[in-house]
Amino acid sequence: MEVIFGRLLNVETKGISKALLTKIIRSGLMALLQKKQKPVLIIDEASILRLDVFTELHTLMQFECDSRPVLPGILAGQNNLIDNLMFMCCIAN
């Protein structure tokens, strides 16, 4: 996941901590908002993502500006995507 965002933002991700990379991603998203662009994260084949990736996605999608989410997301995948999401919901509670 970090590698993908790194490529989109032209940032080398090797050796960068998750905290720093998260700051860089947030900065990149804020730059897009200042340009009046609305970023959307679209993930195809989301049903094959590892469960820990969903946790990272949750962190990235929690960014807010003016009490509104900055990065809405669309997940597309097979029927087991719902199972994965429900599992993540259950272990979070």
Confidence (pLDDT) at 1: 60
Question: From the DSSP assignment, how many helices (H) and strands (E) are in the chain?
Answer: 4, 4
Instruction: Provide the residue-wise pLDDT of the chain in tens; the chain has 93 residues.
Output: 656 666 666 777 777 788 888 888 888 888 888 999 888 889 999 999 888 888 888 888 888 777 777 888 899 999 888 888 887 667 665
Could you tell me the residue range of the domain that residue 54 belongs to?
A: 2-92
> Minimal CA–CA distance to 39: which of 10, 8, 66?
8
Query: Containing H/E element for 43?
Result: strand 41-43
Phi, psi of 6 (to 5 degrees): -60, -45
> Minimal CA–CA distance to 40: which of 32, 48, 50, 51?
32
Confidence (pLDDT) at 75: 92
Q: Tally the domains of the chain.
A: 1
Distance CA 64, CA 20 (A): 18
